[in-house]
Chains A and B, each alone.
Chain A
Amino acid sequence: MKAMVVDDSRATRMILKRALSSQGFEVVEAADGRAALDELTKTGPVDLALVDWNMPVMTGYELICEVRARRELDRMAIMMVTTETEATQVQRALDAGANEYVMKPFTEDVLKEKLLLLGMGRE
C-alpha cells in the first residue's frame, strides 16, 4: 500500500510518515497541495493521502476538490488531518470528498483506529 503525507510542517510529516510506515505503508511526502497534485499527476494515485487543511500555495481542501474532479485519481482514500475542529469544517471536507477526518492534536492510536475504519492498516 502506498500513502502520501501532505503537510507544510516537516515535523508533522515525519510523525505521520513514521506512523504509516509502522502500518506497512510505503510513504511519499509533499509540503503543499500543489506539490502533492504535481506528484500524483506524474506518478498516479496512491492508496491513501493524509492531507492538512491550511497550507501555502494550495490548501488541503482545494487539493481534495482537484483529486475528486480527476477520474484517474478519484480512487484514492483521503483523510484530512488538521487543526480545523469546527463541525462545519468537518462537513465541508466530507462534502468535498474526504473519507475520514482527524483533528489535531492526535495520537498514533487515533490514526490506527481511523485506518481500520477505512479497512486499512494492521490490527
Chain B
Amino acid sequence: MPGIDAADAAFVRELVYKRAAILLDEQKGYLIESRLQQLVHEGVSQSVAALVADARSGRGEASVRIVEAITTHETFFFRDVEPFEALKKTVLPLLLPPGAPPRKLTLWSAACSSGQEPYSIAMMLLEHFPAAVAAGARIIATDLSAQILAKAREGRFRQLEVNRGLPAAYLVKYFDSAGGWWTLKSKVRALVEFRQLNLLDRWQLEARPDVIFMRNVLIYFDAATKRALLERARQEIRPDGALFLGTAETTLNLTEGWSRVATPKSAYYRPRPPGAGGLP
C-alpha cells in the first residue's frame, strides 16, 4: 500500500481537529492512511496525495469526505450487551413506573454510525416496552457523517454485520432477508430518526432526551472538549434521565455534574442538579 506523506498526514490531523475536535496522535498514521486509501478505492480520487491536495485547495468535497472517513467508527448490534441490559432492566423501568401513564420517551444515540446502536434500542423497545412505543417513543440518531447516515437510514445490513452482536431471535423477528442482505422491518426503522450533527455545533433535539447514548465518542476528544460535551449533555437531558458512555469512558476528573450508578457489569450516569457541576 502506498504510504502517506508526513506533511499530508499532518494536514489531515489538523483538518480533523478543526472540523471535529478529534485528536489523532502520531501513532494514528495507519488509520489516516487506511481510511484515505478506502476513499481512493471508492473512486473519490486518483490517489491519497491527490485527495489531500484537493482538500488543501478546497476543491470539491474532499475535506468533508476525509473528515467523515476518519471519524466513522466501528459498530455492531448490542455492543457490549451490558448498557442495553441496564437500559432494559434498570433505567426504563424507573422512567416508566407501572400504573403511571407511559411518558413519551426520547432516546438519543449521539454518534450512531451505520445505525446498529439506535436500531438495537428500537428492537429492545418493541420487544420489552410496547406501551412506550405506542405512547410515541422515538430515537434520535445523529452522526457527523452524511455518508454513513445514508447507509444507516437504509437499515440494510450484510451477513457479517448481522452476525455481530445481534440475538438470532431478533434477526428472524425484525429483519427480512433477500440476496445476502438483511433489511430491518419498517416498524423498527420507523422508531429511529436520523440527523446529521457535529457534536461541536448547536444541538437541536426539539425534545429533551430521557436517555443519551454517547458511547465511544469522548475517547477521541481532548479533555476540554470532553468536559464541554458532558456539561452540555447535562443541561440537555431530563433531570431523571440517564447517560451511557463507552466501556473505556468516564466522567471522572472531568466534571462532577454526573453521578455514577453501578450496574452488575458496568455503569451509567445520572445528572446532578444545576450548580453541582464544574471541575472536581
Contact = CB atoms under 8 A, between A and B. Distances in A.
A114 B78 CA distance: 10
Interface in B150-182: 159-160, 162-165, 167-169, 171-172, 175-177, 180
Interface string A80-123: 00000111001101100010111101110110011011000001
A110 B171 contact: no
A89 to B, nearest CB: 10
17 contacts: A86-B177, A87-B177, A90-B168, A90-B171, A94-B168, A94-B169, A101-B168, A102-B163, A105-B160, A107-B160, A110-B160, A110-B163, A113-B81, A113-B164, A116-B80, A117-B81, A123-B80
A106 B165 CA distance: 12
Contact of B168 (A86, A98, A106): A98
B221 interface: no
A85 B172 CA distance: 11
Contacts of A102: 163
The contact size tier of chain A is 20 to 34
A106 B265 contact: no
B116 to A, nearest CB: 11
Given A90-B172, A94-B172, A116 B81 contact: yes
Interface of B: 76, 78, 80-81, 159-160, 162-165, 167-169, 171-172, 175-177, 180, 265
A107 B161 CA distance: 11
A107 B177 CA distance: 21
Most buried by A among B160, B163, B169: B163
Contacts of B177: 85-87
A113 B171 contact: no
B182 to A, nearest CB: 8
Nearest to A113: B165
B78 A117 contact: yes
A116 B85 CA distance: 11
B171 A106 contact: no
B167 to A, nearest CB: 6
A117 B172 contact: no
Contact of B172 (A91, A105, A107): A91
Given A102-B163, A103-B163, A123-B265, A113 B76 contact: yes
A18 to B, nearest CB: 19
Nearest to B167: A117
A114 B81 CA distance: 10
Given A110-B164, A113-B78, A117-B78, 18 more contacts: A87-B175, A90-B168, A91-B172, A93-B168, A94-B168, A100-B167, A101-B171, A102-B163, A103-B159, A103-B162, A105-B160, A106-B160, A107-B160, A110-B163, A113-B165, A116-B81, A117-B165, A117-B167
Contacts of B175: 87
Contacts of A116: 80-81, 165
Most buried by A among B162, B168, B172, B176: B168
A87 B76 contact: no
Given A116-B81, A123-B265, A100 B159 contact: no
Contacts of B168: 90, 93-94, 98, 100-101
A114 B170 CA distance: 13
Most buried by B among A98, A109, A113, A114: A113
A85 B163 CA distance: 10
B164 A109 contact: yes
Interface string A45-65: 000000000000000000000
Contacts of B165: 113-114, 116-117
Most buried by B among A105, A107, A123: A123
